[in-house]
Every structure is written in structure tokens, then in C-alpha cells.
């Protein structure tokens, strides 16, 4: 087995050893050329706010894509406090540990990428689809065979070219579904027949403006106010629930 194939297999196994994590590898260039990047008409984050973006490893070739299960019965994994959620903090820790391991075990340089494009992140659903972790459903979310849309995503940039996965074949859960996700949206964001971003943004801005007491206190004893962003199109989806 080649050195890079071994590294890829071990890396995926190492990532999936964390509870509730699935992982795959994809070519960076494929993601940068993917449908979401094509949707952007005026340049991308690199020319819009270069000063805010992290500096990528030079000539980086691959991405490790992580999907972490966010079970509906643990909603607090998604509650935002100080611009971050517990689930996202956990994924950051995991991705940092995997990057360190890759250097120690295989002498391959890697870096955990930020979540937002404007800070140097990538479009994570495209990356996950291309890595073979799932497909994009009618609710415009990544649907995985294991956990449906109840996952959150993150990517680790890797300097070397590692053997990549490929999109899933034959997993088309929306075809046989009556799509309760489409009518679950309180803003009717799917009524035009496809996802209408401005309607969704309106709901999430409303959620942001209405934080609530998440049951925890800060060091001064004041209640920590959290934001619970709408995920009704996600929670209505039956995929991965059996
Ligand atoms: C900006 C953003 C938002 C914005 C705008 C979303 C949007 N779709 O435009 C707002 C605030 C509205 C939002 C809402 C939500 N978001 Co959001 N969001 C993002 C972010 C940061 C970038 C997404 C983006 O701008 N995409 C670009 C636009 C142009 O594309 P798009 O509408 O997503 O559609 C593209 C894909 O569907 C793709 N696609 C479709 N079919 C196919 C097929 C193939 C083969 C491929 C390769 C690609 C592909 O191409 C489309 C463009 O043509 C990502 C994280 C990241 N770094 O990627 C999270 C992310 C997409 N959001 C996420 C979530 C969970 C949500 C919400 C449920 C809110 C919440 N509670 O967190 C809602 C769901 C809305 C929905 N149904 O799409 C998760 C999705 C997890 C999953 N299972 O898919 C992500 C990945 C963040 C995370 N923490 O993991 N989000």
C-alpha cells in the first residue's frame, strides 16, 4: 500500500474513532470548483476580505471532511453563545487533534479550517457530498445515510494529495419521501419550489435577536443567554431516524 493511501485510511479511522463522527477525503480543487462556489457571482471570500482570512498551507491539495452527529434530542449542542456552539467547539478540538496526529504519525502538514468562507473556510456541504458522506436533500441540507441531516460539518486542510472518496451512488432518500421538510419552514422558504435564502435569513435573524436562558451561569453568576437557531427543515426530515 502506498504511503499516502495508508495515511488516508488511518486518518479516516482515527477521525471515526471519535464518537458520532464520520469522515471522508476530497480534493481541494474539486470543492473550490463546486456548485456553491459557482453560485457566487462576484468573486469569492479571498478577494472580498483577504485581511480576515486565515493563510492556507501553501499548495494544499486535500481536505478531510468531518460530519458530527447532532442528535435532535440534544438541542443544546447547537445553542450559540459567544458566536459558537458546543458542537462546533468539539469539532474544532477534534480537527486540531487530527492535524497534530497527521504531522506526528505521517509527517503531513494539516490545518483546521474556519467554519466561515470569509475567514478562509470552504463550502462544507459540497465538500461532504464530494467526499462521499451524503447527498444534498430537498431541504438543501446534507443528508447522511446514518444520521440524515442531523450533522454539523468541518474541514481540515492537508498539504499532500491523499486518495479521495467519491460521491455516494444510489442514496436518494428524497425520491420516496413526501418531504415534510418543505412545509415545516415558518417562513415558507421552500414555497418557490427551491430554497429561498432571504426568507431563511429573516427567521435566523429573528432567533439571534431573541436569546434565552440556557440554564447555565457565567463566572459572575449571571445566566448565559443562548441562541437556538431554527432547524425545522432539518428536524422534519425522516432520514436517518430508524
Ligand atoms: C451561510 C450559511 C447559512 C446562511 C445561508 C444558507 C444558504 N444555504 O445560503 C443561513 C444563515 C441562512 C443558514 C441557514 C441554515 N444553516 Co447554514 N450555513 C452557512 C454556511 C456558513 C455557508 C453556506 C453557503 O453560503 N452556501 C452557499 C450557497 C450559495 O449555497 P446553498 O444554498 O447552501 O446551496 C448549495 C448546496 O446545496 C450545493 N449542492 C446542492 N446539490 C449539490 C450536489 C452536489 C453534487 C454538490 C457537490 C453540491 C450540491 O450547491 C448549492 C448551490 O448551487 C455553511 C457552512 C459552510 N462553511 O459551508 C452553513 C451550513 C450549510 N448551515 C448549516 C445549518 C445546520 C443551517 C440551518 C439548519 C440553521 C442552523 N440551525 O444552523 C439553516 C438551514 C438552511 C437550509 N435549509 O439551507 C449546516 C448544514 C448541515 C447539513 N446537514 O447540511 C452548515 C454546513 C454549517 C454546520 N454547522 O455544519 N446557513
Query: Residue 46 has what pLDDT?
Result: 45
Query: Residue 49 has what pLDDT?
Result: 54
For domain 3-170, the CATH architecture is: 3-Layer(aba) Sandwich (3.40)
Give the residue range(s) of CATH 3.40.109 domains in the chain: 3-170
The alpha carbon torsion through 196, 117, 163, 240 (nearest 10 deg) reads -40
Query: Residue 42 has what pLDDT?
Result: 43
Query: Residue 52 has what pLDDT?
Result: 67
Cα(29) to centroid of ligand 1, in Å? 19
Query: Residue 50 has what pLDDT?
Result: 58
Q: Give the mutation target among 21, 83, 141 for probing the ligand 1 site: most ligand atoms within 8 A of CB.
A: 141
Spell 155-194 as b/e; 16+ CB within 10 A means b: bbbbbbbbebbeebeeeebbeebebebbebbebebbeeee
Mean pLDDT (the chain, rounded): 93
This prediction has a pTM of 0.95
Residue closest via CA to ligand 1's atom 72 equals 229
* Positions of the chain with pLDDT lower than 70, given as ranges: 40-52
Dump pLDDT digits (tens) for 35-60.
Answer: 998 886 444 444 455 566 899 999 89
Query: Residue 219 has what pLDDT?
Result: 86
Amino acid at each position: 500500500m502506498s504511503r499516502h493511501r495508508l495515511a488516508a485510511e488511518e486518518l479516516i479511522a482515527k477521525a471515526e474513532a471519535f464518537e458520532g463522527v464520520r469522515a471522508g477525503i476530497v480534493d481541494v480543487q474539486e470543492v473550490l470548483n463546486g456548485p456553491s462556489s459557482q453560485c457566487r457571482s462576484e468573486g469569492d471570500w479571498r478577494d472580498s476580505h483577504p485581511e480576515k482570512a486565515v493563510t492556507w498551507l501553501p499548495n494544499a491539495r486535500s481536505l478531510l471532511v468531518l460530519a458530527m452527529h447532532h442528535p435532535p434530542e440534544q438541542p443544546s449542542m447547537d445553542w450559540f453563545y459567544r458566536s459558537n456552539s458546543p458542537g462546533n467547539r468539539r469539532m474544532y478540538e477534534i480537527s486540531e487533534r487530527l492535524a497534530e496526529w497527521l504531522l506526528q504519525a505521517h509527517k503531513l502538514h494539516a490545518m483546521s479550517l474556519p467554519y466561515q468562507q470569509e475567514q478562509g473556510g470552504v463550502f462544507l456541504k459540497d465538500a461532504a457530498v464530494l467526499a462521499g458522506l451524503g447527498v444534498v436533500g430537498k431541504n438543501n441540507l446534507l443528508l447522511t445515510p446514518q444520521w440524515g441531516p442531523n450533522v454539523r460539518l468541518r474541514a481540515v486542510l492537508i498539504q499532500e494529495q491523499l486518495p479521495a472518496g467519491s460521491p455516494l451512488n444510489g442514496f436518494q432518500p428524497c425520491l420516496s419521501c413526501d418531504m415534510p421538510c418543505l412545509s415545516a419552514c415558518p417562513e415558507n422558504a421552500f414555497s418557490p419550489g427551491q430554497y429561498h435564502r432571504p426568507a431563511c435569513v429573516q427567521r435566523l435573524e429573528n432567533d439571534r435577536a431573541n436569546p434565552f436562558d440556557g440554564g447555565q451561569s457565567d463566572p459572575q453568576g449571571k445566566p448565559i443567554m443562548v441562541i437556538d437557531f431554527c432547524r425545522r427543515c432539518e428536524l422534519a426530515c425522516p432520514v436517518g431516524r430508524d
